[in-house]
Structure 1
Amino acid sequence: MHLYKTNKVLVCILLTYTVQYLSLPFPDLLAEEGVIFENPYKKTEKQTDVTQFTIYFSKKSNLIPKQDQVRLQSVADFLYRNRNYEVMISAHAVEGKTNKENVLISEKRSLEVERFLLIHSVEPNQIRRLFFGNSKSPNQTKEHEALNRRVEILLKPIG
């Protein structure tokens, strides 16, 4: 009786792909790494600073957009490593029918950001929340309403 040794070969195929940008028919289409479009009205600078930024929300929503969850995770990581810092959460809203409704919407947005940070190991004493409704909205026109659906994040030393 003969025993045959068989060698099994594991073949890994690495699939790669490339994205090619054609100059036709869209000559002005450019890809820029690290550029984030936060709102429909302005293109922002590269978002490398986690100490101060703005989160823009959908109308009457308090759900944090996916791209901003990544930045908030960076804030949570920073606050976890630096217990001598705190985060100021300033929430705004203008889509309610009354001032009371605007304050309620902005409060829900600030609570959602606070909840995210608490889930990611930030201490409650490191979080300060303010919600303004539409009392501090710089733009009162319908065209700029999206700019007013925001939460501003500011990190600063405790003290």
Structure 2
Amino acid sequence: MTRIAPATPPHPPQVQAALDHLTPPGVEPLVLFRTLARSPRVFGKFLAGSLLDPGPLSLRHREIVILRTCALNFCEYEWGVHVRFFAQKAELTDVQIAATVLGGPADWTDAEAALLASCDRLHAASRLDDPAWDRLHSFFDDTQVLEILALAGFYRTVSLVANGLQLPLEPGAARFPT
């Protein structure tokens, strides 16, 4: 059970509009969104920083950063939601999805391996040393690197919120591999 009960309808108009925009027809909004909706201010700020719109990274690269960041932060909730809704569209294999949690070999390109290594380094040290920066920057331009850093930071925040609230796992969402 989540530590803060999710908001229930009727929602303020701006919250309802956001929930409608985020949720496919006939699907209940995610517990994370409904819980954040308890504070329209926090919910609005959260949505403003989500980075789920098309940006300078491919969907695949974006999802690699998100999955690895969530896994490093032990956030099965958000990891599972992203596997459910985005992994297939990002053309991630089952082995690659598992590797975002367990590490180990997977068929990554050099650029994808640099993304994963950067996520690991950011998580461990909250910074990229020069070799990690150079490796990442050899595959991604300045705009893309800024997006990668922002994604890692945002999904660390998402992980802290979801874990701190002890959100129940969403029905149909993936579970961490063992």
Q: TM-score, normalised by structure 1?
A: 0.31
Larger helix percent? 2
Q: TM-score, normalised by structure 2?
A: 0.29
Larger Rg: 1
Larger strand percent? 1
